[in-house]
């Protein structure tokens, strides 16, 4: 732990900023019920009330407090995005490592399936799948996880292919180690840096994807607060020169920037470590 | 330049071409700068060949590149002067340096295969520098290239330039690279280990070609290598370097005949190690028998044809041959990585399955392997404790305190202090230490046979010798057998009991070392044996004369 703090203290300003942003968002997401002045779906006043006064950021189209919705939105959107990204990585990296380690027809079958999935534009594909399976948070999480896992598959397969040709993997095979052990103990630790970096970026993409779906009305369903649908619900205000609908968009943008700063820092650190050898 | 001459003074060569005074270079590691070259003085006259020799980390490549006014990424020149023909390269601007490089100073890298751009024909890459520098037109450059290819004794000099780098052999590529360096008739060429990656038989051709062409054009050269025997053939004067300091400098003949420093003597005495007679374990059948093995990759060209070898208990069998002779493939067949198309592998009299997954854990345990590159043979993310501990756990079921104790025993056995090293990762060890850990990992399985695949060729000579001695001591103590795959006949002389010579996938000669290594030889064995460089500076001349007379 001390080492983490020490390296953070030496980190560039951008990384510190990114870490702060991520920590603040996490805290807000976790403490939403405590921080929010009102209930998530509570109608507290007239619709579209202005900033200041009782409602710091005004109210939305149904008269719910904007600040409260923003805070709960952090919790819902970030939580779901995190869950989706984790699933996506589990699926993508296990299949990717498998394809690289076993090779042969396993690799062929997996790779061709992934090619097919990737050849269809993902937003349209997601819309189709959600229409077929029905709109629910579970379905959305699964659909996005599977679609995004194709990218993770490609990355982890490529990274693992560079690792499985190393002598230490051959040594493990000669020792008689099983497939799972080789993937977990020999391949995974050495594939970590690019995968972690990808995790950060993928998280952002998943986040944007969910917001996009919500904006189209196919993502997180009302009355659950979520940044994507908040932009849509209050979009009309833009015409009157009111920037309220941009707040959730700004929240998304800020998190995106923060996460990317952290990822950049991590990449820099891990590639710096590699120079020593 | 001439190696048959004792002079070496200013009189014999032209004016001073390069002079370095108090050169200091720093390298970056761990985000900190450390000095890696500590104030070197160097003088090079026109037409003179200077050998830089030392182990890895001695700073020889760094100094060689500094002669071009260049520091590798992560390095910087912090002090001193580098004067090339009156121009101080440490202070002059990039533009001036760029005009010098390629035109008046050029560079030949260790691995020609990695240094050539695979997407362009050889001759186009040759022409690039002279045309860019405006020295020659494209047509003139191509004409020159063909002339140089002929002088460097490349086959089909008129057409070979129109091939791509992957279409010619390693030795030919290295000569094409030398031709490229000569393209602008530079005043100075820096050769950075140009023959290290080549087979001994190919090395001779390249050495002879480089020497002739450098002589013909009276080019000055800095020849960097870790092999004193090679540099003795090439250089007029030698500088021995260690840890960025000069150890000794002198005329080649004088230094080889009469070294002043102990370190130089050690370098000269390298390869003098000889094993004692093998411990006879009487009345037992051979440990490993390979009979009539034929193998190929993917059913194509047969890489091994009807190969048979035998390894006795407690003995060391050296399998020698140049690259492509099938010796590594033979190891892959024995380990089960490549199931043979035909033939039988018997271990201790019992036939073992050809394919790895069908072998029992005990069969796997009794056969271990040590690799050429200790860097890639160990998982960089695992600690020494886990690297050595895993076979103990996997094969012998040792856990907890018992495992810990055995790891410490093994570390003591390979002469490394357990308390210091047990929690390190491979990146925190030197090359020789890494190879020791690989040996310990193999020993942890308590094997009967260890396959050593070129285990010393990635190491500095003195370190390699230590590893050979260690392996020999372990054999004396543990009666383990070794199969030594190598292209280095000095290693064979040092450690083998029996020798198997391979050529193009077949065994051409096999038997006890003394029989194989003494006349009458098989023709190919003769070629291999005579190609091993000797410390004598006249060795190459004599060899070429002898071969010239024979043919």
- In B, minimum Cα distance to A188 occurs at B381
The pLDDT score that the predictor gives to residue B551 is 63
What is the average pLDDT across B339-356? Answer: 90
Residue B491 to residue B456: CA distance in whole angstroms: 8
Domains B16-268 and B276-366+447-534 share a fold: yes
The answer to whether the CB of B263 falls within 8 A of the CB of B283 is no
CA atoms within 13 A on the CB side of A138: 2
**Is residue B373 within 8 angstroms of chain A, CB to CB?**
yes
The CATH number assigned to the domain holding A152 equals 1.10.3720.10
In three-state secondary structure terms, B226 is: coil
Residue B281: pLDDT over 90: no
pLDDT band at A183 (very low <50, low <70, confident <90, very high): very high
The pLDDT score that the predictor gives to residue B276 is 66
Which residues pair with residue B501 across a beta bridge? B320, B509
- Residue A110's domain comprises 31-275
Q: Report the sign of the C-alpha dihedral through residues B99, B105, B106, B107, in that order.
A: negative
Residue B5: pLDDT over 50: no
Q: Look at residue A36 and tell me if it is in a domain.
A: yes
Full-model pTM: 0.81
The pLDDT score that the predictor gives to residue A39 is 82
Residue A82 to residue B91: CA distance in whole angstroms: 55
Q: Report the sign of the C-alpha dihedral through residues B213, B216, B217, B223, in that order.
A: positive
The pLDDT score that the predictor gives to residue A238 is 84
Domain count, chain A: 1
The pLDDT score that the predictor gives to residue B481 is 93
Q: Which residues in chain B have Cβ-Cβ distances shorter than 8 Å to A160?
A: none
Phi, psi of B265 (to 5 degrees): -60, -40
- In A, minimum Cα distance to B365 occurs at A175
Q: Which residues in chain B have Cβ-Cβ distances shorter than 8 Å to A196?
A: none
- Are B380 and A173 a contacting pair at CB < 8 A? no
- In B, minimum Cα distance to A166 occurs at B376
Residue B398 to residue B365: CA distance in whole angstroms: 14
Between A35-39, B136-140, B383-387, the lowest mean confidence (pLDDT) is in A35-39
Q: Which residue has the higher pLDDT, B403 or A225?
A: B403
**From the list A168, A174, A276, which residue is nearest B379 (CB)?**
A168
The answer to whether the CB of A34 falls within 8 A of the CB of A72 is no
Condensed to tens digits (0 to 9), the pLDDT of residues B104-119 reads 999 988 877 788 888 9
Condensed to tens digits (0 to 9), the pLDDT of residues B482-505 reads 999 988 888 888 888 899 999 888
How far is it between the farthest Cα atoms of chain A?
A: 73
- Are A174 and B336 a contacting pair at CB < 8 A? yes
Mutation choice for A interface testing from B375, B379, B394 by most A CBs within 10 A? B379
Closest of B477, B475, B459 to residue B467, by C-alpha: B459
Instruction: Report domain B16-268's class.
Output: alpha beta
Residue A260 to residue A262: CA distance in whole angstroms: 5
In chain B, what are the domain boundaries?
Answer: 16-268, 276-366+447-534, 376-446
The pLDDT score that the predictor gives to residue B11 is 45
Between B69-73, B216-220, B376-380, B401-405, the lowest mean confidence (pLDDT) is in B69-73
Helix (H) or strand (E) holding B43: strand B32-45
The answer to whether the CB of B98 falls within 8 A of the CB of B104 is no
**From the list B368, B376, B391, which residue is nearest A167 (CB)?**
B376
Condensed to tens digits (0 to 9), the pLDDT of residues A36-93 reads 888 888 888 787 777 777 787 888 888 888 888 889 988 888 889 989 999 999 999 9
Residue B147: pLDDT over 60: yes
- How close A163 gets to chain B, by Cα (Å)? 10
Winning range, highest mean pLDDT, from B166-170, B283-287, B331-335: B331-335
In three-state secondary structure terms, B463 is: helix
The pLDDT score that the predictor gives to residue B2 is 40
Residue B514: pLDDT over 70: yes
**Is residue B364 within 8 angstroms of chain A, CB to CB?**
yes
Condensed to tens digits (0 to 9), the pLDDT of residues B300-310 reads 788 898 999 99
Q: Which residues in chain A have Cβ-Cβ distances shorter than 8 Å to B395?
A: 175
High-pLDDT (> 70) share of chain A, % = 97
Residue B188 to residue B71: CA distance in whole angstroms: 17
- Encoding tokens for residue B337? 């990585």
**From the list A168, A175, A275, which residue is nearest B394 (CB)?**
A175
Mean pLDDT of chain B: 86
Taking a contact as any Cβ pair under 8 Å apart, which residues of chain B between 374 and 393 contact chain A? 375-382, 390-391
Q: Between 3.40.30.10, 3.30.390.50, 2.30.30.100, 3.40.50.300, what CATH number should domain B276-366+447-534 receive?
A: 3.40.50.300
Which residues pair with residue B27 across a beta bridge? B34, B75
How many Cβ pairs within 8 Å bridge chains A and B?
Answer: 53
pLDDT band at B547 (very low <50, low <70, confident <90, very high): confident
Residue B208 to residue A237: CA distance in whole angstroms: 83
Q: Which residues in chain A have Cβ-Cβ distances shorter than 8 Å to B376?
A: 166-168
The burial of B249, by beta-carbon neighbours within 10 Å (0-12 exposed, 13-18 middle, 19 or more buried), is given as middle
The answer to whether the CB of A160 falls within 8 A of the CB of A97 is yes
Phi, psi of B338 (to 5 degrees): -125, 100
High-pLDDT (> 70) share of chain B, % = 95
What is the average pLDDT across B74-98? Answer: 88
- How close B199 gets to chain A, by Cα (Å)? 22
Residue B12: pLDDT over 80: no
Q: Look at residue A19 and tell me if it is in a domain.
A: no
Q: Look at residue A103 and tell me if it is in a domain.
A: yes
- Are A174 and B375 a contacting pair at CB < 8 A? no
- In B, minimum Cα distance to A177 occurs at B394
- Encoding tokens for residue B79? 């002090």
- In B, minimum Cα distance to A271 occurs at B30
Condensed to tens digits (0 to 9), the pLDDT of residues A212-254 reads 888 888 888 878 888 888 888 888 888 888 888 888 889 888 9
pLDDT band at B1 (very low <50, low <70, confident <90, very high): very low
Q: Look at residue A271 and tell me if it is in a domain.
A: yes
- Are A175 and B391 a contacting pair at CB < 8 A? yes
What is the average pLDDT across A269-273? Answer: 60
- Are B394 and A167 a contacting pair at CB < 8 A? no
Taking a contact as any Cβ pair under 8 Å apart, which residues of chain B between 443 and 482 contact chain A? 445
- Are B31 and A185 a contacting pair at CB < 8 A? no
Q: Look at residue A9 and tell me if it is in a domain.
A: no
What is the average pLDDT across B10-29? Answer: 80
Condensed to tens digits (0 to 9), the pLDDT of residues A93-152 reads 999 999 999 989 999 999 999 999 999 998 899 999 999 998 888 999 999 999 999 999
Residue B10: pLDDT over 70: no
**Is residue B355 within 8 angstroms of chain A, CB to CB?**
no
The answer to whether the CB of B370 falls within 8 A of the CB of B438 is yes
- Encoding tokens for residue B234? 């090439």
Condensed to tens digits (0 to 9), the pLDDT of residues B440-452 reads 999 999 999 999 9
- A interface toward B at CB cutoff 8 Å? 166-168, 170-171, 173-177, 185-186, 189-190, 272, 275-277
- How close B390 gets to chain A, by Cα (Å)? 9
pLDDT band at B283 (very low <50, low <70, confident <90, very high): low
**From the list B74, B356, B390, which residue is nearest A173 (CB)?**
B356
Q: Which residues are CB-contacts of A165 (< 8 A; sequence separation ≥ 6)?
A: none
- Are B378 and A186 a contacting pair at CB < 8 A? no
């Amino acid at each position: 732990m001390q080492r983490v703090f020490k390296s953070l203290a030496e980190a560039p300003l951008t990384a510190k900023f990114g870490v702060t942003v991520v920590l603040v968002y996490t805290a807000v997401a976790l403490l939403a019920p405590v921080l929010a002045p009102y209930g998530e779906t509570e109608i507290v006043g007239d619709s579209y009330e202005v900033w200041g006064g009782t409602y710091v950021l005004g109210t939305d189209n149904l008269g719910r407090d904007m600040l409260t919705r923003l805070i709960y939105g952090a919790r819902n959107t970030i939580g779901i995005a995190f869950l989706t990204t984790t699933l996506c990585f589990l699926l993508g990296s296990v299949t990717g490592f498998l394809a690289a380690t076993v090779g042969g027809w396993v690799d062929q079958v997996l790779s061709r399936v992934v090619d097919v999935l990737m050849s269809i534009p993902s937003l349209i594909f997601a819309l189709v799948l959600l229409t077929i399976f029905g709109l629910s948070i579970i379905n959305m999480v699964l659909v996005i996880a599977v679609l995004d896992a194709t990218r993770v598959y490609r990355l982890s397969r490529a990274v693992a292919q560079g690792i499985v040709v190393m002598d230490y993997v051959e040594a493990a095979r000669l020792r008689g180690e099983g497939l799972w052990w080789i993937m977990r103990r020999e391949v995974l630790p050495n594939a970590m840096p690019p995968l972690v970096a990808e995790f950060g970026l993928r998280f952002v993409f998943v986040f944007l994807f969910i917001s996009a779906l919500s904006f189209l009305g196919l993502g997180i369903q009302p009355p659950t607060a979520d940044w994507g649908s908040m932009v849509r619900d209050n979009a009309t205000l833009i015409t009157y020169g009111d920037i309220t609908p941009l707040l959730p968009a700004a929240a998304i943008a800020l998190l995106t920037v923060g996460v990317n700063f952290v990822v950049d820092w991590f990449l820099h650190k891990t590639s710096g470590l590699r120079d020593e050898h | 330049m001439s190696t048959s001459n004792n002079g070496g003074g200013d009189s014999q060569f032209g004016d001073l071409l390069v002079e370095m005074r108090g050169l200091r270079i720093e390298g970056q590691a761990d985000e900190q700068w450390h000095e890696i070259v500590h104030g070197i003085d160097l003088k090079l006259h026109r037409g003179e060949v200077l050998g830089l020799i030392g182990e890895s980390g001695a700073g020889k490549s760094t100094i060689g590149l500094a002669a071009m006014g260049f520091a590798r990424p992560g390095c910087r020149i912090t002090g001193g002067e580098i004067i090339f023909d009156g121009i101080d390269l440490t202070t002059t601007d990039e533009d001036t340096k760029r005009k010098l490089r390629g035109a008046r100073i050029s560079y030949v890298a260790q691995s020609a295969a990695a240094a050539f751009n695979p997407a362009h024909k050889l001759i186009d890459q040759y022409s690039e520098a002279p045309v860019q520098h405006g020295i020659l037109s494209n047509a003139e450059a191509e004409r020159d290239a063909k002339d140089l290819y002929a002088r460097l004794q490349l086959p089909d000099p008129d057409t070979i330039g129109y091939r791509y780098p992957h279409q010619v052999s390693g030795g030919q590529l290295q000569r094409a690279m030398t031709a490229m360096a000569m393209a602008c008739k530079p005043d100075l060429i820096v050769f950075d280990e140009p023959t290290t990656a080549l087979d001994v038989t190919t090395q001779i051709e390249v050495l002879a070609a480089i020497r002739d062409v450098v002589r013909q054009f009276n080019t000055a050269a800095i020849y960097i290598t870790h092999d004193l025997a090679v540099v003795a053939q090439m250089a007029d004067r030698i500088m021995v370097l260690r840890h960025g300091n000069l150890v000794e400098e002198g005329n080649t003949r004088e230094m080889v005949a009469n070294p002043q420093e102990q370190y130089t003597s050690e370098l000269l005495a390298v390869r003098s190690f000889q094993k004692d007679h093998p411990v006879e374990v009487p009345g037992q059948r051979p440990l490993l028998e390979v009979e009539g093995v034929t193998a190929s990759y993917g059913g194509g060209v047969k890489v091994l044809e009807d190969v048979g070898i035998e390894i006795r208990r407690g003995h060391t069998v050296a399998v020698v041959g140049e690259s492509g002779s099938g010796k590594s493939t033979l190891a892959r067949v024995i380990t089960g990585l490549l199931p043979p198309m035909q033939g039988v592998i018997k271990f201790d009299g019992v036939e073992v399955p050809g394919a790895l997954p069908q072998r029992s854990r005990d069969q796997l345990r009794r056969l271990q392997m040590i690799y050429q590159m200790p860097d890639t043979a160990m998982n960089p993310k695992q600690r020494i404790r886990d690297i050595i501990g895993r076979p103990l756990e996997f094969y012998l079921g040792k856990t907890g305190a018992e495992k810990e104790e055995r790891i410490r025993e093994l570390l003591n056995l390979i002469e490394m202090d357990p308390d210091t090293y047990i929690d390190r990762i491979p990146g925190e060890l030197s090359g020789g230490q890494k190879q020791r850990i690989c040996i310990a990992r193999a020993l942890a399985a308590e094997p009967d046979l260890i396959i050593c695949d070129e285990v010393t060729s990635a190491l500095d000579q003195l370190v390699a010798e230590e590893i050979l001695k260690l392996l020999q001591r372990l054999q004396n103590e543990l009666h383990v057998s070794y199969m030594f795959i190598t292209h280095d006949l000095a290693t064979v002389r040092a450690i083998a009991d029996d020798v198997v010579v391979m050529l193009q996938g077949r065994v051409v000669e096999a038997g006890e070392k003394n029989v194989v290594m003494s006349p009458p030889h098989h023709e190919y064995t003769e070629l291999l044996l005579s190609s091993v460089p000797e410390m004598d500076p006249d060795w190459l001349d004599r060899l070429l004369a002898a071969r010239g007379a024979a043919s």
